[in-house]
C-alpha cells in the first residue's frame, strides 16, 4: 500500500503546508505563490483540485492550458503531468483526494465550478486543528459539490525553429505588438514566407491565427485579475473593446464577463 502522506509531504519543499494529511481521503495543501512563481512539470499519486483562494493560477497539461480565477478549479487526475503558475501573487488551497477512496473518477482534467459553499468548505478543511469527525463530515460534502463546467481552452503551441520561436516569445511577452511578418523577418533574419511556413508546419496554425490565440490567452489572465475589458483590449492589441469582445466571443462562445461568471 502506498503511503498516503509520504508523497504530499514532499511538497513541503515548495512552501506548502497541509491539513488533514494522513487522516482520511482528502488533504488540503496551501501554497503561497508570489508573482511569476511557476511549479515545473510534475505529477501526483493523488487527484488534485487546483484552486486559487486568492489571485489567479494557470495550469498547463500537455497540449492544454487553463486560467483559473477563484470561481473555477481544475480537477487533475492522479498521474497527469502538469505545471502551475501565477501571473501575479496568488494563494492556492488545493484539495488532494486519495484515488482509492475518492468517489469521483474523472480520467481527464476537468474544470469545476467553485460556488461560495465549496469555497468555504475548502478553507474550513485547510484548518489543521479541525477535529477528525468534523473533518470527515466536511469532506463528504466536498465530494457532493464537485460540479463540472464546460470551459473552452486556448492552445498556443510553440514553434521549435529558433527564428520563429523568437517571434513567438516576443509576442507572448507583448501581445500588443502588431508588426507584420515582413517586419518580424527583418528582426530575426528570415523571409516572411519562411516564417509563415514555420508557424504553419510547427504549430498547426497560421501566423495570424497563432497571434490571435496568444492574445486570447493573455486576455484571460488579465480578465481573471479584474482588469476592465477596455484596458484588456488595448493591452492585447485591439483598437476598440468591441473588436476585442467580438474575437473573444468567436474563440470562447461567450462574452468575457460570462466566461468568469460563477453561475
pLDDT of residue 63: 76
**Stretch 32-55: mean pLDDT:** 89
CA 258, distance to chain mean position in Å, is 18
**Stretch 165-178: mean pLDDT:** 95
CA 28, distance to chain mean position in Å, is 18
Helices (H) and strands (E) in the chain, counts: 10, 11
CATH superfamily of 162-259: Homeodomain-like (1.10.10.60)
Q: Are 75 and 106 in contact (CB under 8 A)?
A: yes
CB-based contacts of 174: which residues, under 8 Å, 6+ apart?
none
Angle subtended at Cα 12 by Cα 9 and Cα 16, rounded to the nearest 5 degrees: 115
| C-alpha dist (Å) from residue 195 to 14, 100, 168, 211 | 40, 50, 11, 13
Q: Is the pTM of this model over 0.85?
A: no
Q: At how many degrees (to 10) do helices 181-188 and 192-203 cross?
A: 100
What is the domain partition of the chain in residue ranges? 4-148, 162-259
pLDDT of residue 94: 92
CA-closest candidate to residue 140, choices 20, 19, 25: 25
Pairing of strands 110-113, 147-148: antiparallel
pLDDT tens per residue across span 13-27 = 556 677 766 556 888
Helix, strand, coil shares of the chain, percent, nearest 5, are 40, 20, 40
pLDDT tens per residue across span 65-117 = 888 888 889 999 999 999 999 878 888 999 999 998 888 889 999 999 899 99
pLDDT of residue 4: 52
Say if domain 4-148 classifies as CATH 3.30.420.40.
Answer: no
Res. 3: pLDDT tops 90 = no
Amino acid at each position: 500500500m502506498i503511503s498516503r502522506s509520504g508523497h504530499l509531504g514532499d511538497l513541503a519543499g515548495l512552501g506548502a503546508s497541509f491539513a488533514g494529511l494522513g487522516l482520511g481521503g482528502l488533504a488540503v495543501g496551501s501554497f503561497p505563490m508570489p508573482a511569476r512563481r511557476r511549479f515545473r512539470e510534475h505529477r501526483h499519486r493523488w487527484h488534485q483540485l487546483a484552486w486559487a483562494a486568492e489571485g489567479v493560477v494557470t495550469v498547463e497539461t500537455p497540449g492544454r492550458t487553463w486560467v483559473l480565477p477563484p470561481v473555477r478549479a481544475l480537477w487533475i487526475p492522479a498521474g497527469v503531468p502538469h505545471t502551475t503558475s501565477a501571473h501575479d501573487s496568488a494563494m492556492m488551497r488545493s484539495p488532494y483526494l486519495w484515488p482509492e477512496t475518492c468517489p469521483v473518477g474523472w480520467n481527464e482534467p476537468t474544470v469545476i465550478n467553485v460556488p461560495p459553499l465549496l469555497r468555504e468548505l475548502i478553507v474550513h478543511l485547510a484548518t489543521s486543528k479541525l477535529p477528525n469527525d468534523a473533518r470527515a463530515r466536511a469532506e463528504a460534502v466536498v465530494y457532493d459539490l464537485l460540479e463540472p463546467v464546460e470551459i473552452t481552452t486556448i492552445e498556443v503551441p510553440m514553434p521549435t525553429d529558433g527564428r520563429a520561436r523568437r517571434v513567438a516569445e516576443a509576442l507572448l511577452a507583448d501581445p500588443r505588438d502588431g508588426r507584420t511578418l515582413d517586419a518580424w523577418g527583418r528582426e530575426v533574419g528570415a523571409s516572411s514566407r519562411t516564417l509563415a511556413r514555420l508557424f504553419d508546419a510547427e504549430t498547426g496554425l497560421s501566423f495570424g491565427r497563432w497571434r490571435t490565440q496568444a492574445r486570447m490567452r493573455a486576455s484571460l489572465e488579465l480578465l481573471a485579475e479584474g482588469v476592465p475589458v477596455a484596458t484588456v483590449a488595448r493591452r492585447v492589441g485591439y483598437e476598440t473593446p468591441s473588436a476585442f469582445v467580438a474575437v473573444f466571443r468567436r474563440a470562447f462562445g461567450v462574452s468575457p464577463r460570462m466566461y468568469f461568471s460563477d453561475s
